[in-house]
Amino acid sequence: MNDLKFEMAPETEPERQYFFIEQGAVLRKQKEEELKHPLTYHVTTFGCQMNAKDSEKMKGILNEMGFINCDDEKSADLVLFNTCTIRDNANQKFYGHLGSLNDKNHRNKDRITAVCGCMMQEKGCVEKIRNSYKFVNIIFGTHNIYKLAELVCLKLAGENFVCDVWDKPKDIVEDIPSIRKYPFKAGVNIMYGCNNYCTYCIVPYVRGAERSREAKEILMECEKLASEGVKEIMLLGQNVNSYGNGIKDSISFPELLKEVEKIEGIERIRFMTSHPKDLSDELITVMKGSNKICRHIHLPLQSGSSRILKAMNRRYSKEQYLELALKIRKELPDTAITTDIIVGFPGETPEDVDETIDVIKKVRFDGAFTFIYSKRAGTPAASMEQVDPELVKKEFNRVLEAVNKESKEMAALNTGKTEDVLVDDINEQDERLLTGRMSNNMTVHFPGERSLIGKIVNVRLEECKGFYYVGSMV
Ligand code: 5AD
Ligand code: SF4
């Protein structure tokens, strides 16, 4: 009976998925009658903002199908893992986690265990899961997360194992349901994939070539979010400053920001990530004239050595990075600059690391994510001569010390100031406190009522605790 219905599925998207959401709801109900309890789901997300956004979409689909969100991974009827593969430790962490679930309870035939995301796009990964984690019964990749309803339907209709991994993206499919972690802030994809091919990075291989969305679709989504009460929007892309490439007569990223700024109800706009080679003067000018664009630019440095930057295919030199960062410091003095740094890229010497530390001292980053280089199979850097791990550890500590020193000192400069803070939540450690973020993305904790969650309030920054503040409302 179900197979017959599946044959009636529309060919076009997203209509096809709405059809499967409906079919899935029927199948779910049948299963609930058989098992005598409502079916629950749990989604675990690894990795970046892109994955977090994808997970929101998938949760939206599961909700529409009538599954109930549950906090406990071990007891959920459907568990979904959205994986990350940016560094090898992300893969190991995931395998460890999956291994810990490999018990009798999880091998229960009625349980659905689904795995998706970046790792699944990697060669050999699907086979490994097939062989070693036999309880996994749905696998898909990064390009077809919107098909979750269809894949779950196939499983509920009796297939033992459903695998659908595409090696290339097809059309961009939007307009599928989504639920947000916070009702008052949301991420909006403005582009997918990456074309930069930094030699260490696996992202272009697992997320595909860069594709921008049409501006009118992005703006429609932002307007809809504003009408639902969203105050803060984060525009997401691997390289937002190259937004519009490949779209005929597209507006630029700064122009897109100006359009989002016009939307009533949106009070804050963030964006992530900026590639230094593409950050334009136009962006700085637009930020200068804006009341809504948050005072934060994430500008990955990766290395301060021009020689290593060349080997990384970053397409800027140490001097060009410094010029850009110092221009931002001058033109937008209240804007926090944060960064990503990799230590131990093939061929990196202590002298190269000295250059990185020199940039850290000159830019005085407000925050930095520091990573040990991780060899990713299939990337050009994987076949370059690797650095001795003992030396890397030593150099990594030097870099970490330098960034911590600068960012602590930079943070402390805000003591005594009063800032607009969007209240995110109750403080996890102390429920008398609220936690929120300032425009520059720094966290502040302060006493306040739960009813203020989702509101923007004025907070005096009283005590700097290194990477966050303790304050009080004024
Ligand atoms: N090893 C270590 N760090 C990496 N990143 C990307 N690929 C690797 C890798 N192979 C870091 C970069 C990037 C951030 C998201 O992850 O610093 O900006
Ligand atoms: Fe990876 Fe470079 Fe693309 Fe960033 S810009 S996702 S580091 S290839």
pLDDT tens-digit profile of 159-203? 999 999 998 888 778 888 888 889 999 999 999 999 999 999 999
SS (H, E, C) the chain: CHHHHHHCCCCCCCHHHHHHHHHHHHHHHHHHHHHCCCCEEEEEECCCHHHHHHHHHHHHHHHHCCCEECCCCCCCCEEEEEECCCCHHHHHHHHHHHHHCCCHHHHCCCCEEEEEEHHHHCCCHHHHHHHHCCCCCEEECCCCHHHHHHHHHHHHCCCCCEEECCCCCCCCCCCCCCCCCCCCEEEEECEECCCCCCCCCCHHHHHCCCEECCHHHHHHHHHHHHHCCCCEEEEECCCHHHCCCCCCCCCCHHHHHHHHHCCCCCCEEEEECCCHHHCCHHHHHHHHCCCCECCEEECCCECCCHHHHHHCCCCCCHHHHHHHHHHHHHHCCCCEEEEEEEECCCCCCHHHHHHHHHHHHHHCCCEEEEEECCCCCCCHHHHCCCCCHHHHHHHHHHHHHHHHHHHHHHHHCCCCCEEEEEEEEECCCCCCEEEEEECCCCEEEEECCHHHCCCEEEEEEEEECCCEEEEEEC
Distance from Cα 332 to the centre of ligand 1, integer Å: 27
Going from the Cα of 195 to the center of ligand 2, the distance in angstroms, rounded, reads 8
Between the CA of 193 and the centroid of ligand 2 the distance, in Å, is: 9
Atom 1 in ligand 2: which residue has the minimum CA distance? 201
Are 292 and 252 spatial neighbours (Cβ–Cβ below 8 Å)? Answer: no
From the CA of 341, the nearest ligand is 1
Ligand nearest to the CA of 86: 1
Asked if 172 and 148 touch (Cβ cutoff 8 Å), the reply is: no
For the Cβ of 347 lying below 6 angstroms from any atom of ligand 2, the answer is no
Q: Give the number of whichever ligand sits closest to the CA of residue 278.
A: 2
Q: Which amino acid is at 318?
A: K
Q: Residue 210: left if φ>0, alpha if ψ -120 to 50, beta else—which one?
A: beta
Residue 302 alpha carbon, nearest atom of ligand 1:
17
pLDDT tens digits for range 39-98 = 999 999 999 989 999 999 999 999 999 999 999 888 899 999 999 999 999 899 899 989
CA distance 69 to 72: 9
Alpha carbon nearest to ligand 1 atom 9, residue: 374
Give the domains, in start order, of the chain with CATH numbers: 3-164 (3.40.50.12160), 180-292 (3.30.750.210), 295-412 (3.30.750.200), 418-473 (2.40.50.140)
Compute, in angstroms, the gap from residue 23 CA to the centroid of ligand 2.
39
By alpha-carbon position, which residue is closest to atom 6 of ligand 1? 201
Determine if ligand 1 sits within 6 Å of the CB of residue 185: no
466: CB partners within 8 A, 6+ apart: 408, 411
268-272 sheet: strands from edge to edge: 185-189, 232-236, 268-272
Query: Token pair for residue 287?
Result: 């930020």
Q: What is the pLDDT of residue 180?
A: 86
pTM recorded for the entire structure? 0.92
What is the 440 CA–ligand 2 centroid distance (Å)?
23
| For the CA of 313, the nearest atom of ligand 2 | 2
Using DSSP's 3-state secondary structure scheme, residue 302 falls into strand
Report pLDDT for 270.
Answer: 98
CA of 243 to the centre of ligand 2 (A): 14
Helix/strand/coil for 470:
strand
Query: What pLDDT, on the 0 to 100 scale, is given for residue 280?
Result: 95
- Give yes or no for residue 332 CB within 6 A of ligand 2: no
Q: For residue 32, what pLDDT is reported?
A: 96
Cis peptide bond prior to 85, omega within 30° of 0: no
Q: What is the pLDDT, as a whole number, of residue 105?
A: 65
Burial (CB count <10 Å: 0-12, 13-18, 19+), residue 414: buried
CA 80, 81, 82, 83: dihedral to nearest 10 degrees? -160
**Helix axes 253-261 and 281-288, enclosed angle (nearest 10):** 20
Ligand 1, atom 12, lies closest to the CA of 340
pLDDT for residue 104: 66
pLDDT averaged per 10 residues in sequence order, the chain, 474 residues: 72 92 95 95 93 94 96 92 94 90 74 95 92 94 94 94 91 82 94 95 93 96 96 96 92 98 98 96 98 98 98 98 98 97 98 98 98 96 96 98 97 96 95 96 97 97 94 96
| Three-class SS state of 256 | helix
Contact 265, 234 (CB under 8 A): no
Give bridge partners of residue 457 from the DSSP assignment: 421
Structure tokens of 9? 């599925």
CB 85 within 8 A of CB 109: no
Q: Give the closest residue (by CA) to ligand 2 atom 2.
A: 198
Question: Which atom in ligand 2 lies closest to the alpha carbon of residue 314?
Answer: 2
pLDDT at residue 1, as a whole number: 46
Closest ligand to C-alpha of residue 371 is 1
